[in-house]
A and B are shown apart, each in its own frame.
Chain A
Amino acid sequence: MAVSTNAAGAPRRRRRFSILTRQDKLVLGLAVGIPAFIHIFLVWVPTISSIFLSFTSWNGIGGLERIKFVGIDNYVNMFTRYPPFWPALQHNLVWLLTFLFIATPIGIFFAVLLDKNIRGTRIYQSAIYLPVVLSLAIVGFIWQLQYAPEEGVLNNVIHNFFPNMGTISWLGDKNINLAAVLVAASWRHIGYIMVLYLAGLKSVDPSLREAAAIDGASERQTFFRVVLPVLKPINVVILVITIIESLRAFDIVYVINKGQNGLELLSVLITQNIAGESSRVGFGSALAVILLLISVGPIIVFLTRTFEAPE
């Protein structure tokens, strides 16, 4: 978009800039310069540093001159001699697939249901969207109360129906705790996707659907053949958000058990290596680079769709 104004208004641009005083130019320079500096300094400098540091060894003690270049040692260590790495990567993947193939489709499904002309749709929407305002830390907290082995609702209900069944440790048993946490995380994610998708559905020209209805298309056909293709831009946004949210997951597992015992995630491993006795700057950075590499794909998809095709 910025490009198009530029191209269309090349001669006008010169004229407009001529009415800018030196002070105006200074103001514009600061308006761009200050935010750009803050953002680049605190977000992109560390990102680039992560990549650089991942090829070095440094325990954080002593000055920068103690940083030693070690080639790909950190990566070799991570892949071969660091037991939590593969489980964490696997958990991130499970998280991503669950969001992608279960939570997000459910959110879209709810949005489609609630987009119909039904009475009380606002009330239903409000109920499903409630968890979206909560932080994932609070979500973890609330679900701990539901999952608690003795006091939790879930086990008490199960005991009512199956008195002989043993107590299930939903968050303590490492075979099931990831699934239990994913239920809690999906509680919020589904509402988030529903809100975004509803906005998208509302933007669809109603005459399209009516035309399809007149032509005798069923509701299902109308959705898959007419509405879904029109919503391609928002589908891309939702895809990107789903992936990024899965990679960002941290708060909820940290609140529950600091991300151990079946709840390891890449984000948790990075955090464990930041400070304290186990501080390994180079190694933590290598883990961060893996997370960065996975994020780059969806980020590029998002940028392409946003900046390359202005309608």
Chain B
Amino acid sequence: MTAVAEERVVPREAVVAKKRGIRPGRVALHAFLIFISLLWLFPLLWTVYTSLRPYGDTAKNGYVSIASSLSLDNYFNAWDQGNIPQFFFNTIVILVPAVIIVLLLASAIAFAVSRFSFKFNLFLLMLFTAGNLLPAQVIITPLYRMYLVLPLPAPLSTNGVWYDQYFGIMAIHIAFQLGFCTFVLSNYMKTLPKELTEAALVDGASVFRTYWQVILPLCKPPLAALATLEFTFIYNDFFWALVLMFTGNKRPITSALNNLQGQFFSDNNLLAAGAIIIAAPTLIVYFILQRQFIRGLTLGSTKG
């Protein structure tokens, strides 16, 4: 480490000295990046701006005008008229168990395949990884038919089958996301020293205790990153619930976007407010958990 650090000192200065000479280049670079950043932020900022303006104001002055007044009225109206609390409830019922179960199951199988040698280790990992890459539409036709006939007892289902139930949406999220989470977690667990498991087992700890008290606590970083990422993925799902949840009022909020669009058809301000409300949880992730989110994204791609 020190050797590398020492080596770096000399060229860094050389590079910096070289850069001093091309100051105008730096200015142009910053100008370009500022322009791009504003361009990138614009669509969302514009949506926020529209959402804060009363309908009458934009109707009179047009959308591209200085607002005569700003208010949160559109948000309150969208919240009430769009039945937003119900949709948020639906999302939570599906999302929270799905994230917890997917992380538990993925860490369990990742533990088993990365710490012990099975015949089908590699095959299973490849199957999981490939499954995660399939477009959802490849499996949807038979899956829809399965959901119509698969039995499910009363507390979990109101109609006796998987179709049109919270459970069904949760199940497909778990099955699909298992691939990615197992892939990431098994890669991470392989970097933990083998001796950890061996020592625990020799000391008489059961396999379950080794998993729960030795390995899992060491996996907090990838688990936190994956939890953030899976929260966003599942929250943002549009497709599964659109097809597998028939009752509009039971759909999670991202899929309910469709309903809102029909309902607020002519009122762009209200639509904008609705869009921002729906995007809010992911924007919170963006502002607060940005590091976890990015780590989750990159964990899957920069292995090795």
Binding site for B on A (CB under 8 A): 1-3, 5-6, 9, 13, 16-17, 19-21, 23-25, 27-28, 30-32, 34-36, 38-47, 49-50, 53, 60, 110, 113-114, 116, 118-120, 123-124, 126-138, 141-143, 145-146, 148, 151-153, 156-157, 160, 187, 191-192, 195-196, 199-200, 203, 206-207, 210-211, 213-214, 233-234, 237-238, 240-241, 244, 247-248, 250-251, 254-255, 266-267, 270-271, 273-275, 281, 284-285, 288-289, 291-292, 295, 298-299, 302-303, 306-307, 310-311
Contacts and interface: CB of A to CB of B under 8 A. Distances in A.
Given A113-B29, A138-B279, 19 more contacts: A2-B114, A9-B117, A23-B207, A27-B206, A32-B108, A35-B178, A40-B127, A42-B175, A50-B141, A116-B29, A134-B236, A141-B261, A146-B43, A210-B8, A234-B302, A237-B301, A250-B238, A302-B129, A311-B304
B141 A270 contact: yes
A261 to B, nearest CB: 17
Interface residues of B, number: 113
B133 A196 contact: no
A49 B142 contact: yes
B171 A267 contact: no
A187 B137 contact: no
A288 B145 CA distance: 14
Interface stretch (B71-79, B80-88, B219-227, B267-275): B267-275
Given A19-B202, A250-B239, A151 B63 contact: yes
B285 to A, nearest CB: 6
6 contacts: A42-B172, A138-B257, A206-B8, A291-B138, A307-B122, A310-B304
A1 B122 CA distance: 8
Contact of A303 (B36, B130, B187): B130
Interface in B141-189: 141-146, 171-172, 174-176, 178-179, 182, 187
B89 interface: no
A53 B208 contact: no
B135 A291 contact: yes
Contacts of A289: 138
Residue among A2, A203, A273, A285 with most chain B CB within 10 A: A2
Interface of B: 4, 7-8, 11-12, 14-15, 18, 26, 29-30, 32-34, 36-38, 40-41, 43-44, 46-47, 50, 58, 62-64, 105-106, 108-109, 111-114, 116-118, 121-122, 124-131, 133-146, 171-172, 174-176, 178-179, 182, 187, 190, 194, 198, 201-202, 206-208, 211, 232, 235-239, 242-243, 254-255, 257-258, 261, 268, 271-272, 275, 278-279, 282-283, 285-286, 290, 293-294, 297-298, 301-304
Contacts of B297: 132, 192, 195-196, 199
A44 to B, nearest CB: 6
B135 A247 contact: yes
Contacts of A141: 257, 261, 271, 275
A151 B50 CA distance: 10
Given A20-B201, A31-B109, A146-B46, A303 B129 contact: yes
Given A233-B304, A267-B135, A128 B40 contact: yes
Nearest to A53: B142
A118 B29 contact: yes
Given A5-B117, A138-B275, A254-B238, A156 B64 contact: yes
Contacts of A285: 141-142
Nearest to B211: A31
Given A126-B290, A281-B145, A50 B135 contact: no
B38 to A, nearest CB: 8
Contact of A145 (B7, B46, B141, B282): B46
Given A43-B175, A156-B63, A2 B121 contact: yes
Contact of B268 (A145, A192, A247): A145
Contacts of A136: 236, 238
B109 A21 contact: no
A299 B179 CA distance: 13
A199 B291 CA distance: 12
B145 to A, nearest CB: 7
A274 B47 contact: no
B141 A39 contact: no
A146 B302 CA distance: 35
B212 to A, nearest CB: 10
B45 to A, nearest CB: 10
Contacts of A34: 105, 108
B15 A32 contact: no
Contact of A45 (B34, B142, B190): B142
A161 to B, nearest CB: 12
Contact of B207 (A24, A127, A240): A24
A41 B175 contact: yes
Contacts of A137: 236, 238, 254-255, 257
A258 to B, nearest CB: 9
Contacts of A195: 294, 297-298
Contacts of B112: 28, 31-32
Contact of A295 (B32, B114, B135): B135
B100 to A, nearest CB: 14
